[in-house]
Amino acid sequence: MAKIRKKSVVPVYSVAVVWIFWATCMPMYKISHFIWLTLWSFIIYKLTGLIWRGKWVEVEEAASMYVPTGDAELDGLLLQGKDAIQQMKMLNTKIKNRKMCEKVERLISLAKDIFEHVAKNPEKGTKIRKFMNYYLPTTLKLLESYVEAASQSVRGKNITATMVRIESIMGTIVIAFEKQLDSLFSANALDISADITVLEEMLQREGLAEVPPNMQDLL
């Protein structure tokens, strides 16, 4: 999140008050009258701006996943991902169940991580096709159904059963999203493992250091 200063509206209202006062109590039939009015308006605007400087607010920064990669197909997937995340955020604002909200927030965070990683590593775009074509749209469909069911004024056994089933499956979906993210790092893990193995062999061959017995646990 980034912080920006949101300007106060007080200076603008103050200038409006100056104009109303001037139009009511002061002459306005010469050019000099308007010059003085403009001057006073400027002074009042600056003074009130120094007093009421506005407030700092947090805004969401543009994520790297939204930067074009040059691959038209992958860029299309990333745009779909952006839309899906926005839909999940919107749906989550309508959910009253705290635990359900926390799970959806976790899904949003995982989805962002997935798309950002793929944006930085375009060659892994093929690994999220099933995620994009089934898991993500099905998750959105379930959330939409949950919000619709929760909005009903009367909750019969069918509506209640639907909500309970969706709430129960959300934990499994979170795990699925986590595994999808973890799978994207499989090649990285292999590369790191190979680097460590080579380093171990060089250290032992050169007699520079002994490899700690628990180093294998890091592979």
Instruction: For residue range 138-192, list pLDDT tens digits in order.
Output: 999 999 999 999 998 888 889 999 999 999 999 999 999 999 998 888 755 445 6
Least confident of 10-14, 33-37, 62-66, 175-179: 62-66
What the block records as the tokens of 102 is 């926390």
pLDDT at 45: 85
Backbone angles phi, psi at 58, to 5 degrees: -95, 135
pLDDT exceeds 80 at position 113: yes
Q: Whole-model pTM? A: 0.58
pLDDT at 217 over 80: no
Task: Tell whether the model's pLDDT for residue 72 goes beyond 70.
Answer: yes
Q: Please determine, for residue 64, whether its predicted confidence score (pLDDT) is greater than 50.
A: no
Contact between residue 101 and residue 92 where contact means Cβ atoms under 8 Å apart: yes
**What does the DSSP 8-state code read for residue 185?**
T
**C-alpha–C-alpha distance, residues 46 and 20, integer Å:** 18
